Structure 1
Amino acid sequence: MSQNNDQENTPNNERNQSPLQTENAIFGNEGRSLKISWHNLNYTVKAKYTNEEKQRLGVDQKYYQKEIVKNASGYCQKGDALFIMGSSGAGKTTLLNILSDQISKKKDTSLEGQVLINDSIKVTSDNFGSFAAYVTQDDYLFESFTCEKCIEFAARLRLNLSKEETASRVEDIIEKMGLQKCRKTMVGNERLKGLSGGEKRRTSMAVELVTNPDILFLDEPTSGLDSFTAQKIVALLVDFANKGKTVIATIHQPNSEVFQSFPKLLLLMDGYTIYQGETMASVDHFKLLGYPVPEFSNPSDFYLKEFYISFERTRNEEDKMRVLVDGYDKQIHPQIEAGMKSTNYDEVTEKELLKGMTRAGFLLQFWILLSRSTYNVFFHPMIIKFKTVGVLTIALVCMAVLWDPGEDREGIRGTIGSFLFITATFTFAPIATTVRSFSAEKPVFMKEYSNKTYGLIPYAISNSLVEIPFESTYAAIFAIIVYFSMGLEIDAGKFFIFFLAITMNSFC
């Protein structure tokens, strides 16, 4: 395979780099020449018939096997940027998830075929991180972090490098992704002003690029972005490919300028591959099959509208699909098969491939996660405020309800009841705040854990330890307000026992 040997003349390329960086510099062309190929992929899921489908098809059974991807084959090599298109339900994301081994493998699903690296190494979740990265459609970032902190913590967790090397890697990523102006800007959310949609997208890509993957998978990277920002994102991906990466991305309804910038296109229709090759050559291919793109129209709009299978699956649509699939099998597929055989790539064993996977050890994972959780709590503008207001509200309500019950029999019974009320209140209140904070963090955790960035144990321990000083402080505030309002004996030892009981109760 021909390779571009030009080097980028930037100061970052002149730095003293570790062996890992020297072997495969970020966005340079010194990386490994890997080919990813997929062979006869078929993916089915167990689906439920709707009442309309039962009536239309005249069936009585409740479930059927729905084919999502059908007999798909193809390949990508170093320097390729392949964009997968198709109408809704065509199987774009499913195919991408199969190639990246992110697909669901439940008992109600069936996957046939192979996805290989260099024709011999099967792609699995165990080796995926050694050569590839996956950017999800949604931006899973800590909303209280700055752009720079998101990238920094990702680098510290995923790369077993020194502090200086990590800082150098982060700096390179920020520069190459064009994030210098927003590096200190908070990610934000619907209520907190922060990064723009395009900046969030580039930050998500930067987080995955810290491992310097040979192959980059992206699920609809332009989703939710305006046409200008979408064009910039696609141009960035094409630039990655030109500098030695392999880019495979799904994309939905690009404008004409974005579409024409695609180097390669893979078009799906109802799970079938109906085109794969140079993007603009698709116009001539479909013209020969009797589906010419109207003059002055956007080919992508025409493809999505014309090559769509409706819910009713009309006979005309079925006939059209047969023509397109037959045209692909006769004209395109032989070229793909020939290309697979003629592609050159580096000879590499799975053991050598796995050398590219570097992760922090258990203790380092724990320390970094502890630092990250502490940073998240301190710098999130809402977490401390929400918890402080919550504990003050509960304490003041308890003070009003439990105020000095007295020392007679009824007062003693009231005091005992007060302790039960306090126990119940300070058991469920911390749970509510913990659930609220974890629900915001859950998408990030699920993505990182599925990518084997860290283990469950260091994550759980670090999060629990971060809560100790905060929960202890809230317990102290609650104890001071409630203890003295109940008219209990003013004794330091007894107050400490009360405070300790409240604190331990909050951790149960």
Structure 2
Amino acid sequence: MVNLTMDASSSQSLTKVRTQKRPDSLKIELLPIPEHCVPATFGQELSNQINVGFKNLSYCVREGVFHRRRRKILRQISGDFYAGDLTAIMGPSGCGKTTLMNILAGYTTKDVIGKLLINDELRNHTLFKKQSSYIMQNDHLQPLLTVHESMMIAANLKLDSEISQKEKKSRANDILEAIGLWSCRKVRTGALSGGQRKRLSIALELLRNPQVMFFDEPTSGLDSSTSKQCVMLLKQLAQEGKTVICTIHQPSALIFEMFDHLYAVAEGRCIYQGSIKGMLPYLEDLGLRCPPYHNPADYLLEVASGEHGMYIEDLVIKSENGQSQDWRRRQRDTLQMQSIEHIDRMMRNGVVTPVRAPPSNFSIKKTFTGQTDSSKKIQCFAKTYPTSFCNQLQVLLKRSFLMLSRDRTLTYSRILTHLFVALFIGTLYFGIGNDAKEILNNANYLFYTVMFLMLTSFNCVTLTFPSEIPIIIKEHFNSWYSVNSYYLSVIISDVPIQIISTLIYAIITFYMTAQPTESFRLFFFLIICILISLVAQSFGLLIGASLDLKSGIILGPICFLPFTIFSGFFVQLNDAHPYMRWLFHVSYLKYGFEGLMLSIFGYDRGKLPCSIDYCHFVYPDKFLDQMDMEDAVYSHCIYFLLGLTIFIRTVTYFILQSRVRR
């Protein structure tokens, strides 16, 4: 690879900054680093550091019913975020700071105009993603996994397969101990506090030691002490030479002073880029004087919102829309040192949980420009994910089965529901299967079986799968695994539970209702029951991947309710209007109902005993004729249901792929 360097003046200046040492009294003790590990430190070579820049960046969104109106979010802004600096992007709501963060992180790529730079050269998006991570505002974690399980699963997905399991475990344990989560390593993530969840989200991404870290409002929803603790951790990560960039909204004065670099945005343009200490003199040059004992961060937001007059144009011109470097300071000021010392003292006194930046093991050195032939060749053959597809599938299957074993709704409730309903239906229709008098009730039982298996299979997935989408999006964006491996793991892991539940219901009701005991009839009956449940589960996956939970509950029944009337139970094919008969041939409920009817009454079943004086349907073939199923073929039912299952799951895969990438 080609090593990237900055211009000579910038290199000398930055080298001077990186080699400055904090007073010993203010140092935060890091974890001991093994002798064979070489951490990424404050004094590492600049070629290993990543400075993020952007020039003339613009972004528009389309609005209106037909998306004809365009609204500008970012307007020709520029900026530079250096390695070793803790950078804050600030601005009032709707100013474009989150949009800017999404673009810099690569989360938003469509309709972006301008240049994204790494060490003053155009960046290669694919290679950049391998050394960056994005911790979003909402901590999307698997609630049924413990802290240590989450770390080990992430380690097996994010670290190279060549690294031994012992080293991965050691790395995970070091990080947990460093950020103060070792004591709750056996606690499920759903039971963690807000600050613990935030630290765990950071810990998961630190496993691969990214050089660039993006945080979307990391202190959102946290109390004052926890916010200080979180920002202190980010500060330590920056001191190790990482580029740490975060959006933040109305920080306290103490937290505000801890940032090295401030990038202020208003109306999609940059109004200030520089140090925290330089912000107030910068504003005073335009006659904007911050009142005494007033939080400078609050005052900046008031200015950006226009509460003190229309100064935005003047500020944009003064900052050259982010290109001016006049107000960037290369040293920490006294207030910042006092802020760090204050939080350090709180940690030593036990007011907040002590957190430390973990040692930077497994450092991965890469370059990020894609302009040369050699880097293009590397990109073509580079792995998109740290581990192979097979390893991803193995780890994700293990995670899925572990969560299923603890999920009361998706596993235990589903099995118990099928068991109790089977006993109830078996009692209600007890012994009807071998009596011609009860043949209509037997048909009612078969149709109820179709509806019950369809509804339970559909609802279980529709109610649970949408909650997985944000987790998939976060983990896939940070290059944990591919959509292919995740989707295949979901299908493989959930199918056994669904089949077991279906078999429990089908076998219990089959024998309690005294259906014919021929083994082939039981086999045919079970096959159709399983296929019905798989088709309904496929529709549930489709709705869950396409819509959110609320929309899925409202629109989901459209998948099966219109086809209920065309199932052959309420209206027979020959009785329907000629223009409506084609709907019978596309109704999967019809094929499911026909398959069950044929398994019970078909294949030349003999005369049924009659317990009363007269039974009209003594011969099952006559009853099938009455139900317009004289020409039904069992194999056609199998082919249709199996083909529909494969088709829907394939469509679901492409929808999920599109949604995750979008």
TM range (shorter): 0.7 to 0.9
**SS of structure 2 residue aligned to 1:212:** coil
Instruction: Give a deviation string over 1:151-180, Cα, whole Å, max 9, x none.
Output: 221121121132122112212221222211
1:379 aligns with 2:406: yes
Cα distance in structure 2, aligned partners of 1:457 and 1:326:
49
In structure 2, which of residues 62, 72, 95 is the aligned counterpart of residue 46 of structure 1?
Answer: 62
Shift of 1:92: 0.7
Equivalent residue letter for 2:33: N
Deviates more, 1:399-408 or 1:167-176: 399-408
Cα distance in structure 1, aligned partners of 2:36 and 2:442:
69
| Map 1:393-472 → 2, pairs under 5 A | 393-399=420-426, 401-405=428-432, 407-472=434-499
Contact 1:115 1:123 in 2 (8 A): no
| Map 1:71-470 → 2, pairs under 5 A | 71-103=76-108, 105=110, 110-124=111-125, 126-160=126-160, 161-188=163-190, 194-308=191-305, 319-329=310-320, 333-335=323-325, 350=370, 351=375, 359-399=386-426, 401-405=428-432, 407-470=434-497
Cα distance in structure 1, aligned partners of 2:412 and 2:44:
49
Cα distance in structure 1, aligned partners of 2:131 and 2:85:
15
**SS of structure 1 residue aligned to 2:325:** helix
**SS of structure 2 residue aligned to 1:303:** helix
**How many pairs are equivalent?**
470
Cα distance in structure 1, aligned partners of 2:142 and 2:366:
38
Q: Summarize the Cα distance change of 1:48–1:489 in structure 2 as closer, same or farther, 3 Å threshold.
A: closer
Shift of 1:487: 2.1
Shift of 1:336: 6.2
Shift of 1:358: 5.4
Equivalent residue letter for 1:77: Y
Instruction: Give a deviation string over 1:447-477, Cα, whole Å, max 9, x none.
Output: 2233443222222222222123322321232
Shift of 1:286: 0.7
Cα distance in structure 2, aligned partners of 1:397 and 1:39:
69
Match of 2:504 in 1: 477
Instruction: Give a deviation string over 1:395-443, Cα, whole Å, max 9, x none.
Output: 2453355443354445223323422321232133112112223222221
Instruction: Give a deviation string over 1:22-71, Cα, whole Å, max 9, x none.
Output: 4xx3777647122111101111112349xxxxxxxxxxx99532111112
Cα distance in structure 2, aligned partners of 1:144 and 1:28:
38
In structure 2, which of residues 50, 75, 80 is the aligned counterpart of residue 34 of structure 1?
Answer: 50
Contact 2:392 2:485 in 1 (8 A): yes
Match of 2:594 in 1: none
Shift of 1:86: 0.5
Contact 1:96 1:219 in 2 (8 A): yes
Q: Summarize the Cα distance change of 1:150–1:30 in structure 2 as closer, same or farther, 3 Å threshold.
A: farther
Q: Summarize the Cα distance change of 1:468–1:64 in structure 2 as closer, same or farther, 3 Å threshold.
A: closer
Contact 1:399 1:485 in 2 (8 A): yes
Q: Summarize the Cα distance change of 1:147–1:26 in structure 2 as closer, same or farther, 3 Å threshold.
A: farther
Match of 2:583 in 1: none
Deviates more, 1:456-465 or 1:292-301: 456-465
Q: Summarize the Cα distance change of 1:285–1:183 in structure 2 as closer, same or farther, 3 Å threshold.
A: same
RMSD value over aligned CA atoms?
Answer: 3.2
Equivalent residue letter for 2:95: A
Shift of 1:220: 0.5
Match of 1:56 in 2: none
Cα distance in structure 2, aligned partners of 1:14 and 1:8:
18
Contact 1:100 1:123 in 2 (8 A): no
Contact 2:135 2:201 in 1 (8 A): yes
Equivalent residue letter for 1:385: Y
Q: Summarize the Cα distance change of 1:12–1:401 in structure 2 as closer, same or farther, 3 Å threshold.
A: farther
Instruction: Give a deviation string over 1:60-103, Cα, whole Å, max 9, x none.
Output: x9953211111211112220111011010111101111111111
Instruction: Give a deviation string over 1:118-149, Cα, whole Å, max 9, x none.
Output: 2223242x223222111011111100011122
Instruction: Give a deviation string over 1:488-507, Cα, whole Å, max 9, x none.
Output: 24566654543444334322
Instruction: Give a deviation string over 1:321-354, Cα, whole Å, max 9, x none.
Output: 2222222239x743269999xxxx9987543997
Deviates more, 1:391-400 or 1:433-442: 391-400
**SS of structure 2 residue aligned to 1:335:** coil
Deviates more, 1:178-187 or 1:426-435: 426-435
Task: Compute the TM-score of the two structures, normalised by the length of structure 1.
Answer: 0.84
Match of 2:631 in 1: none
Q: Percent identity?
A: 29
Cα distance in structure 1, aligned partners of 2:155 and 2:393:
15
**SS of structure 2 residue aligned to 1:40:** strand
Equivalent residue letter for 1:307: A
Equivalent residue letter for 1:118: N
Cα distance in structure 1, aligned partners of 2:326 and 2:60:
24
Task: Compute the TM-score of the two structures, normalised by the length of structure 2.
Answer: 0.65
Cα distance in structure 2, aligned partners of 1:144 and 1:131:
29
**SS of structure 2 residue aligned to 1:68:** strand
Q: Summarize the Cα distance change of 1:336–1:470 in structure 2 as closer, same or farther, 3 Å threshold.
A: farther
Shift of 1:320: 2.0
**SS of structure 2 residue aligned to 1:275:** strand
Equivalent residue letter for 1:225: L
For the pair shown, the structure with the greater C-alpha radius of gyration is 2
Q: Summarize the Cα distance change of 1:10–1:328 in structure 2 as closer, same or farther, 3 Å threshold.
A: closer
Cα distance in structure 2, aligned partners of 1:347 and 1:478:
58
Match of 2:578 in 1: none
Cα distance in structure 1, aligned partners of 2:149 and 2:35:
22
**SS of structure 2 residue aligned to 1:70:** strand
Equivalent residue letter for 2:34: E
**SS of structure 1 residue aligned to 2:186:** coil
**SS of structure 1 residue aligned to 2:192:** coil
Shift of 1:13: 1.6
Cα distance in structure 1, aligned partners of 2:276 and 2:534:
58
**SS of structure 2 residue aligned to 1:237:** helix
Contact 2:59 2:112 in 1 (8 A): yes
Cα distance in structure 2, aligned partners of 1:403 and 1:28:
77
Equivalent residue letter for 1:119: D
Q: Summarize the Cα distance change of 1:404–1:62 in structure 2 as closer, same or farther, 3 Å threshold.
A: same
Match of 1:55 in 2: none
Contact 1:27 1:240 in 2 (8 A): no
Equivalent residue letter for 2:459: A
Gaps of 5+ in 1: 50-60, 189-193, 311-315
In structure 1, which of residues 9, 14, 27 is the aligned counterpart of residue 34 of structure 2?
Answer: 14
Contact 2:213 2:243 in 1 (8 A): yes
Deviates more, 1:381-390 or 1:220-229: 381-390
Contact 1:269 1:309 in 2 (8 A): no
Q: Summarize the Cα distance change of 1:144–1:177 in structure 2 as closer, same or farther, 3 Å threshold.
A: same
Contact 1:12 1:172 in 2 (8 A): no
Equivalent residue letter for 1:181: S
